[in-house]
Amino acid sequence: MRLMAMLAGVVAIAAIATGCGSGGSDPLTKAEFIEQADRICKEGSNQIRKEYEAFAKQHNTAKTGVSQEQGTEIGLQILLPNVQSQTEELRELEPPEGDEAQVAAMLDALEAGVEEGNQNPKSLLSSNYPLSKGNQLAQKYGFKVCGQA
């Protein structure tokens, strides 16, 4: 159950960063930024889901369930690399004027969560989930897809 919640959160966060830049010289409005980031989150979620399904099929988890060891492996091999990559891509979007610090804090929290997860993989399955702060900041900012668990 905790693993599925972790994956849902990861999928949501991971989706944050699969996107592209704003493409124009005008800064994005908050609504445009959220729309682009949420699109990224949705794409990222789909990628994580696809990789998770391949893992589940390869390890026949439908019958056996996901062990703690496999949950940690999923976090290290699927979740954290995707979140890191997506966060880097999201940094390419120019935040709305005046929101730079708030967006940077969210992205910094995600990167710190990735680092913590890599250093302590068991934390990915604990109540002290290292990506929680980034998720909370994304929700507080107003994302409708990103950061939703």
Predicted pLDDT at 9 = 54
Predicted pLDDT at 7 = 54
21: left (phi over 0), alpha (psi -120 to 50) or beta: beta
pTM: predicted TM-score of the whole model, two decimal places: 0.80
pLDDT tens-digit map of 34-53: 999 989 888 988 999 999 99
Predicted pLDDT at 146 = 84
Predicted pLDDT at 26 = 79
Tell me which residues of the chain have a pLDDT lower than 70.
1-25, 149
Q: What number of other Cβ atoms are within 10 A of residue 51's Cβ?
A: 17
Angle ∠(110,115,120) on CA atoms, nearest 5: 120
Taking CA atoms, 95 is separated from 27, 63, 88, in Å, by: 7, 45, 14
CA–CA distance, 127 with 105 (Å, rounded to integer): 22
Predicted pLDDT at 107 = 95
Predicted pLDDT at 2 = 52
Taking CA atoms, 54 is separated from 18, 35, 62, 64, 131, in Å, by: 20, 29, 12, 15, 23
